[in-house]
Structure 1
Amino acid sequence: MRTTPTTALLVLLLLFSYSLTTTAQILNAPEPIADPSGGGTSGWTAACASSGFNSYWVNFTWINAPAVNSDNKFILELSDSNGNFGSPVVLATLDDKNSNYDFNIQFALPTDTRGENYKIRVKSTSPEKVSPTAGPYSMYYVDFNSPILMSQDGNGNIPSGGTIEVCDGTAITMAPHNVPNASSYKYNWYKSGTLLSEKGPSLTTTEAGMYSVQIDYGSICSGSASTDSNIIEVTTGTSLGVALNTPSKTSLCSTETETLTANISGQGLTYVWYKDDVAITSPTVDNHTYTVDGSTPGFEGNYAVEISGPGACLERSAAISITTASNVTLTRDNEANLVILPTKTKTLQVTSSSTAVTYAWYKDGVVLSGETTNTLVVNSAGEYFARITDNGGSCPFTIDSDKTTVVSPASFNIAIDYTAAYTDCQNTTTTLDVKTIEAVAADGTKTDVTADLKNEFTYQWKKDGVAISGETNNAIALSDITANGDYTLNASISGYSATDSNTLGVTLLTSETVAITASSTTFCNPSNPVVISTTTALAGETFTWYKNGVSYNTTDETLTSTETGTFVLEVLKNGCPLRSNEVVISPLNEDLITLDSSDPVILIEGQTKTISASGGTSYQWLDAANVELSTSSSVSLTAEGTYTLIAKIDDCEVIKQFTVSYKDTFNVPNVVTPNGDGKNDLWVLPNSYSNNPNATVIIYNSNGEEILNEKGYKNNWPTSSMSFPKQNMVFYYKIIDDKGGQKQGTITIIR
């Protein structure tokens, strides 16, 4: 063959393309290993970290990579608890392993790690590639690792003997009372040793049993933690019907009292009095009365009593509401939490619906001398409230306002958050805003002062540690992929050092799309593979071809497949996976090519019959001599014979043959003479009925008995083995065609 310059150039390009393909970096999934410096021999299968131990290792290898860029970093990433990498957590970053193809990575679990389905992977940054994932793994940071103390309502009072008796049908709630941030955990609740479905921080039940609880640290780590609680035995008994007797009055002036009395007394029972579902007395035997004092500020509320003891199940009465007889209201006008800045003051204010009242202000429960108006100027931290009194009317009253907490912080904490639901690689826009401002006192006490100070701070937004010009509001709107990065907010206020907020990562989804097409959606021959391609440039990109949801190929920009299935291309763009449309490659099914007429085709001599095909992408009709009759989806026929259709579905070929016969013009015969002379020995039907798989032929004898019932009748009755003992025997026939039409009559056998 003569080689032209163009041919040589194409060869060089192909070789160069092959070289690029074969030298692309391939990252392997990280593999858990034992501590290289320890005595272990096998890798970890779950991670149960704590303050006493939080060190894990994986081994990572990468191949077919003579070099990565000098600024490359290898990053070990952790998914969320469901195995999703929408917002991965960085476990470790290494920038000194670019010439090392096999090395170990040490990492520690974040303290908020809790779940059964975490996965890990390694990402390179230059070029940007992602390894297959490893996992899922059960991973938990065991931050609470002490026996749980459980009590009724989490009130801290563990029942004597560990038993609580409740009335039949009465619910009791049990909860831990020594677990900080108890609602942030999941729990395993047990009844008499059987695990219950409840996972929350409390359990409400009406059933008797031995109850206990532990923090749910997963299928593996729960066993290594030591959080098993005390046991509370719940027993059931019969209700005594405790209730409060009707009081003489339920509205009190400040000079009045009212004694509430339980309807059961003198039985040595234990009583606990409640106001607004909060215990206001300790458990006391025979304490069946309680006096409500109208002069006590805040006496208004719903009162009830709870009884327990020998012969009595735990039972609480219905509540009785006690209110003030005055209709005066007192409203706090300022925020509940306020900040005193150095050399500054704050003004507190309340509003009364009555002008005929006197005011007094309190700080930390102590009255402030001389403060007798509805406003108070403060310059120091404390808990403040106002009290109004009217002793001049017929019903004296005293009312306390809601409390105001004023803090003088040593520093501030600033927290930012997304203003709406956000997921990496799904949102195309997002807005970040100040979520909370906490004033931190010298003793570490934190108070939410967002409402008071949000507009008092000076702000500067930063992206990847660099100040963003012009972004000095308390919120920032981000609308395209150029904004992707890590954001912090620097906040400052006079008299305090500037402080940085938490960091929020933003990875917006690009507006690009990825589309794939196939040379055919039908596969029929390994020598003719299906080619799947995309117009998206893949050179230098990280991409994965998927077949039936499983990674199939990560190196070929155009996919040549001899397999069937559902194919998708995923391209990593700016850290986000972009998925293409689906292409479904199906195996050849010859039944996809159909004719609108059955075989044989019945044609009336002298007329034309048009046969149509469907299901193909091209057609060729041939007669018995292989003469081409048509290349469209239909053909018009005028003569008997055998015909061939060659139909294609893309590059796959389907061949169908059919016969055309003239329609018989004679009627169904009613006489047969089976005497062996070769004439009229058989009952021969017109070809619209004979050999027709859709026509049913039935023959009955003179007694009405069915002697033949078949489709596709072959003109072969009566058979040579049949005998006819009588002359001129009469039979009856019925013919049912494919449209349900019937033809019937008689057949006389003449010997």
Structure 2
Amino acid sequence: MTPSLKNSLPFLFLCYLFLGAASLFGQTLNKPTPADNPTIAGNSIWTAACASADFNEYYVNFTWLPTVNADNQFILELSDASGNFGSPTELAKVSDKNTNFNFDIKFSLPTDTRGEAYRFRVRSTSPAKISPASDSFEMYYIDFKSSLLISQNANGTIPAGGRIDLCSGNSITLAVHNVSHPGNYQYKWYRSGTLLSEKSSAISIDIPGIYMVEVDYGTSCSGSANTLSNSIKIKKGSSMGIAINPPPKTILCSGESLVLESNIKDQGYTYTWYKNGFPITAPIVDAYNYTVDANSVGFEGEYSVEIDGDRICMERSLGINITLENDFTVALDKTGPLVLLPGKTSLLSATTDANTPTYQWYKDNIAIPGATDKTYLANAIGEYYLEVTQNGGACTSEKISEKILISPPTSFELSIAYAAEYTDCNNTSIVLEVDTITALLPNGTRADVTLDLVNSFTYQWEKDGIPISSETGKNISLTTSEENGNYTLVANLDGYNPTSNTLDVILMTNEALTINAATTVLCNDSSEISIGTATDLNGATFNWLKDGKNLHQTSTVLTVNSPGTYSLELLENGCTLVSNNISIKPMDESLISLNITNNEVVIREGSSKTITARGADSYAWYYQDQTLLSTTDEIELSREGNYTLLATLNGCQISKGFSVSHQDTFSIPNVVTANGDGYNDQWVLPNTYTKDPEINVIIYNHKGEEVFNQFQYNNDWPQATTIFPKQNMVFYYTIQKAKKILKQGTITVIR
């Protein structure tokens, strides 16, 4: 034995055991494990993955047994950050390793990978199988790897000397300001070297110390990213008692402005002004006042100021609420343009939330005498608007509504539509109705006047250009296929007579087309089944279909002799009426079963066995001489011979044959005493090996020479004339059927 083969024996033995286990228990996929990167010299197996744009190449090792199909693929999948495979990420796909039981898979981390509990698994596709999950690993894709910068409220200004003095009882917010999407990461904040619990990009501070932050890339990867920020030293300083001088008013009228001023000024400090807690200015030296403009949308709110400077602590004043008095809105209840017919009027109205308002309507920019209510009944064409004045309080203000045009129409357009979802030859009923009424105005604009005028018009429905008696409403209901046609609507109002668009209506006949057959089972290749319908097909246009394909048969009754799904299509009133499906199938003889195996029944001589049949509508049992034995579903048999069951199912007759034989009561002898005393002179075999004409018995002498060869052995060896030159001679026998060896052994002949 060569050394290499000798050394491989333990491995081969293990593979043999593994393959044996796999054959017993099915496909085995082992959990993937980290592997060495072959492209890096001296690289060890990884324990954590810290990927980036500069490096993102890792390997796992995978083993499996015993076999897969030729089209199989191995797919490496990654869990979410918590190790859950509810929605795994595909990392790699391998299709050329279906005979390699131990190989490495290369992969790269997705750019959104961040966590400390990721796991792998491998999935095979043919057969479908999933390996156990791997151990948990820390994995991060490091896409930000620069030093962080922090400042107060992320304003981008790092304080001189990196120091901020904080007044007792106050707090300050430090935040990262050089990351475009800071919320995409978690962070580690430190106070004088101690790790804090805060993980967001900002931290609120009220305790002195030296503060720094870095991106949290986990225990193993954070150091390689080098994201540690600048430091800011927070110290306790003396308070200046910052406050906003009381303003002359805190409630402004529309259009007014107000100057807020700090109580500390002209000392070279920086000021930051806040509204509702958010900075509205940058820190500016000596910016101790701020102008609030009531013309600015949303100016209302709480204003405060923050002061900072050398040898003083940063502190913020209490807030002052600035509001707008008597602000209100006004809007017309209708949008224009509006249509005014000769001799008619149009009601204008407005909505306002002003307190104690007064009203004045205008036409063509001129006040209308006496039109001082919030509604006005217009009877002339022109452009209208409403002026609302709010009275009382510190302010008096005026606002005007949007303008609305009232104009006579030059013409109308009428549009009708289906009142519900409609498809030709699908609906069995439909309602048509007025959809829109549009007025065309002299200036070329269009106005939707449906709501205003839909009930003012009179109507007449037409089918195929002919008026329909009694159909004079704004809608029409169609319920039968006899009403199929082209519909239009003619309207009338004060001499205007618009005609609508045309809608086609093709309704499906509200009836069912049913086909039927006496049976759906073909007994044999020569069987035929007739499929018909109670619907009168004479003179109609129809198609018989098999498996969705036209058979081009013109008979009203279809005769079929092959399996398939059959249906009927009938053209009626312009629509195709489709019948039910009838599935014709061949007879399945396996539906008839007997409680026997291999069509053979073996019983002890003198005993009996009950044979039971299932699945048929009727039964007839026959002996080999065609004698009818029974017509029930079971029969008790004790006589050897051949039997036949004729079972009837769905009009089809199925034949099943079987045999009954007596059980052998002795085994194959291995000794013959050929002394002519009439006892044990011949080698006698059990019936099992003598009744079958296809069983061949062959006997050989001690030299391997064939001395006897017989099909359907007659228990007649050795014959009386056979000569045995020795006292005890040993012969060898083989009992076989075709090429299959049934029995083999020795025969000792004693004279």
**Length-normalised TM-score, structure 1:** 0.45
**Length-normalised TM-score, structure 2:** 0.45
